[in-house]
Amino acid sequence: MKRIFVALLLMSLVIGMAGCLLPLPITPTPSPPENETPAAKTPSPPLDTSWAPPQPKPEAPTLPSIADVVEQVYPSVVAISTEVTTLDIFRTPLTQKGAGSGWIIDKNGIIVTNNHVVEGAKKVTVELSDGRIFEADPNNIHTDPLTDLAVIKINATDLPAASMGDSTQLRVGDWVVAIGNPLGQGIRAKEGTVSGLKVSLDVDQGQTLGDLIETSAAINPGNSGGPLANMRGEVIGITSAKIAAVGVEGLGYAISTKTALPIIEQLIRQGFVTRPWLGITLYTVDQYVAMVNRLSVNKGAVVAYVKPGSPAAEAGLQQLDVITRFNDKEITSAEEVINAIHDSKIGGEVKITFVRGNETKTTSARLIQSPPPGS
């Protein structure tokens, strides 16, 4: 009887281990369009076509304590509340509320935050540090999903704009302070140090944020969009992401002002960001995508859509063409093509190698300026 029990126990262990080794099916997720524009709509007017970003003060004194930093930056920080309409399983509209942070970059009511804070919101409310509350006009909210940045204009003047710092002067180990609206509980401050610089982080399929500041300052839901300040009381980053996993602690990320300011300037001056544009939508090719679409290769970026009249259309690219090389560099994912396009210049010519059926072909395209959202 004992031998039978032992044999059954061994068999159950073997079966359990075998079950752990079974591969799980993976459903491919499409990459976003390479120009990352939102759903088609009439472009909103720019906020201020003559706006120029504030310049850092090269010799601002270091403040003696974290309390002094908070006292200087706090008046410029805002709490953002949003309402987003979603559908339940019965397709009944539901209103979901969200919270985020932002900071005043211009005294005439221009506020910086993250795209994901306001994305899809039907109502955006901004509360200032003095308690005043403003509802933002949707036409005065401009976003750039690719860099996760957004600007909001409210109807207010003579606001306390934050001072800008030079993020390129940061060193690992420098003290920083994250100020924001964690969990929607009101403006809070949390100190930490810079633990990494020029960090890249995959935040979504086909989207990677680069030149991030990694910090040990606590960043919680609701902190997104708030300022990361140095010990001079200057904004050197925009808090954006956090790795939340069991056993992971103290890994928060902020978009450096060096990367953010050129994007913010375009959003304010013209309402959208211009980049080199090819005019295609892509999927990353894997074995599943290759099998379903009967592709002859299982690596690269397959063309899902070609916009009529775009550089891609003029170059002869078609749906289900698989891009395998871009400017003689091997391509293994849709993200690599998107990054290669954005790293190119408007008006520059690019060389594209692709597979159509069983035939490998090469073409060239001249990139143009990305069109405004909705065009």
Count of residues making up the chain: 375
* Percent of the chain residues topping a pLDDT of 70: 84
Question: Which of the four pLDDT bands, split at 50, 70 and 90, describes residue 246?
Answer: very low
Question: What pLDDT score does 335 carry?
Answer: 84
Alpha helices in 21-137 (DSSP H): 66-73, 115-118
Question: Residue 92 in contact with residue 82, Cβ under 8 Å?
Answer: no
pLDDT exceeds 50 at position 5? no
Residue 298's Cβ-side half-sphere holds a number of Cα atoms within 13 Å equal to 5
pLDDT exceeds 50 at position 17? no
**198 lies in the same domain as 317:** no
**182 lies in the same domain as 84:** yes
**262 lies in the same domain as 286:** no
- Domain of residue 310, residue span: 276-369
The residue from 148, 166, 211, 321 that is catalytic is 148
Question: Residue 124 in contact with residue 73, Cβ under 8 Å?
Answer: no
Question: Which of the four pLDDT bands, split at 50, 70 and 90, describes residue 90?
Answer: confident
Q: How far is CA 146 from CA 31, 101, 192, 238, 313, in A?
A: 12, 19, 27, 15, 23
Domain contains 3: no
pLDDT exceeds 70 at position 20? no
Domain contains 142: yes
The CATH number that applies at residue 249 is 2.40.10.120
**109 lies in the same domain as 243:** yes
**88 lies in the same domain as 212:** yes
**186 lies in the same domain as 50:** yes
> Taking all residues of the chain, what is their mean pLDDT, rounded to a whole number?
85
Interval 255-281: pLDDT, tens: 999 999 999 999 999 999 999 999 999
Domain contains 79: yes
Question: What pLDDT score does 372 carry?
Answer: 81
The residue from 167, 224, 256, 370 that is catalytic is 224
Q: 222, 246, 271: which is the final residue of a domain?
A: 271
pLDDT exceeds 80 at position 4? no
Domain contains 10: no
Task: State yes or no: is 68 an active-site residue.
Answer: no
pTM equals 0.74
Question: What pLDDT score does 33 carry?
Answer: 54
Q: By mean pLDDT, which of 89-93, 139-143, 308-312 is the weakest?
A: 89-93
Average pLDDT over residues 12-34: 43
Question: What pLDDT score does 41 carry?
Answer: 63
**138 lies in the same domain as 254:** yes
pLDDT exceeds 60 at position 19? no
Average pLDDT over residues 186-210: 82
pLDDT exceeds 90 at position 105? yes
Question: What pLDDT score does 44 carry?
Answer: 83
Q: By mean pLDDT, which of 16-30, 78-92, 293-307, 322-336 is the weakest?
A: 16-30
The CATH number that applies at residue 343 is 2.30.42.10
Average pLDDT over residues 231-239: 95
CA angle 196, 147, 240 (to 5 degrees): 50
* Percent of the chain residues topping a pLDDT of 90: 61
Average pLDDT over residues 194-200: 90
**190 lies in the same domain as 316:** no
Rounded-to-integer distance, Cα 82 and Cα 98, Å: 5
Interval 294-353: pLDDT, tens: 999 999 999 999 999 999 999 999 999 999 999 989 999 888 898 899 889 999 999 999
Question: What pLDDT score does 175 carry?
Answer: 95
Per-position b or e across 226-264, b if 16+ CB within 10 A of its CB: bbbbbbbbbbbbbbbbbeeeeeeeebbbbbbbbbbbebb
Question: Which of the four pLDDT bands, split at 50, 70 and 90, describes residue 57?
Answer: confident
pLDDT exceeds 70 at position 185? yes
Question: What pLDDT score does 365 carry?
Answer: 95
pLDDT exceeds 60 at position 34? no
Question: What pLDDT score does 184 carry?
Answer: 81
**334 lies in the same domain as 226:** no
Domain contains 374: no
Domain contains 225: yes
Q: How far is CA 88 from CA 94, 123, 268, in A?
A: 7, 19, 36
Question: Residue 69 in contact with residue 177, Cβ under 8 Å?
Answer: yes
**74 lies in the same domain as 187:** yes
Task: State yes or no: is 342 an active-site residue.
Answer: no
* DSSP β-ladder status, 163-164 and 234-242: parallel
pLDDT exceeds 60 at position 235? yes
Question: What pLDDT score does 12 carry?
Answer: 47
Record the tokens describing residue 45, joined without a space. 């007017």
Q: 228, 254, 271: which is the final residue of a domain?
A: 271
Helix then strand then coil, in percent of the chain rounded to 5, is: 20, 35, 45
Question: What pLDDT score does 31 carry?
Answer: 52
Domain contains 14: no
The residue from 81, 116, 144, 344 that is catalytic is 116
Encode 333-348 in three state secondary structure.
CHHHHHHHHHCCCCCC
Record the tokens describing residue 39, joined without a space. 């759903």
Rounded-to-integer distance, Cα 215 and Cα 238, Å: 12
Domain count for the chain, please give it.
2
Question: Residue 249 in contact with residue 210, Cβ under 8 Å?
Answer: no
More confident residue, 294 or 86: 294
**67 lies in the same domain as 209:** yes
Task: State yes or no: is 130 an active-site residue.
Answer: no
Q: 212, 238, 271: which is the final residue of a domain?
A: 271
**218 lies in the same domain as 300:** no
Domain contains 30: no
